[in-house]
Structure 1
Amino acid sequence: MTIKTTKWDAAEFLNSKEEILAYLEAAFEDGDPSGIKLALNNVARARGISDLARETKISREGIYKALSEDGDPKLSTLLSIVKAFGLNLSVRDLEHA
């Protein structure tokens, strides 16, 4: 008997703002730039790239490129995308976190 598997896609499970926030917080806490970019990509796809493009005034292609494996988003792009998710970035002291 053959076992059939399907590719797991995190974007399919990010259904609420709370889930998105927890997912992105974990990615940022880990601190790996490629992991952060992947998490942002997954959230962008969960929210809808076309809607995100309209909100950020960044082309769909620009979003795909910035959040691709080889992408390196500018700070302004990152901030626009995070703001469109209804979130913001903040800084905290690691010694007292």
Structure 2
Amino acid sequence: MKPNKPLLVLGFVPQPNLLIISKIIGVVTMPKSISYHTELIESLKEPSEAAVYLEVVLEEGDPKMIKKAFSNVIEARGGFNFISDDIYENLTIFDKKLKETGEIEFSLLRRLLESLGLKVGVMVRPS
């Protein structure tokens, strides 16, 4: 049986034919992509996601990435204008020590995490 209407099969179409197809089926637009940063900040609004994210970055140990990770978590919490003075003060001290020594002082890390509603945990290292 022949179909009453011609079939239109979409697949890879060279650029010049795109105009013809768009006239036949209407203008086709691709959904706008969400930037990685936007998606990251949205996911970090969930405390468990923020905890895992910080855990991974802290394991890597790169001071610049650690500072950026904490900044991302703070951004997810509303940004620097909306965080408490306690969080800002702890981050400032933490960042200063990190820049000076390249190392993390445990008591500062603990205070910063606690001010963000997180805590330090201990796990068994895989063999």
Larger radius of gyration: 2
- Tell me the distance in 2 between the aligned counterparts of 1:12 and 1:95: 31
Q: 1:95: Cα distance to partner?
A: 8.9
- Residue from 60, 63, 68 that aligns with 1:33: 63
- What are the Cα deviations for residues 17-56 of structure 1, in whole angstroms up to 9, with x where unaligned? 1000000000001111111111000001101223323443
Which amino acid in 2 is paired with 1:53? Answer: S
Q: RCO (CA 8 Å, sep 6+): is it higher in 1 or 2? A: 1
Larger helix percent = 1
- Tell me the distance in 1 between the aligned counterparts of 2:99 and 2:110: 13
Q: Secondary structure at the match of 2:57?
A: helix
* Corresponding residue for residue 52 of structure 1: 83
Correspondence 1:24 to 2:54 = yes
* Structure 1 contact 52–81 (Cα < 8 Å) conserved: no
Q: Secondary structure at the match of 1:52?
A: coil
Correspondence 1:84 to 2:115 = yes
Q: 1:13: Cα distance to partner?
A: 2.1
| Structure 2, unpaired ranges of 5+ | 1-14, 16-29
Percent of residue pairs identical: 29
Please, what TM-score do these two structures have when normalized by structure 1?
Answer: 0.59
| Structure 1, unpaired ranges of 5+ | none
CA-atom RMSD in angstroms: 3.8
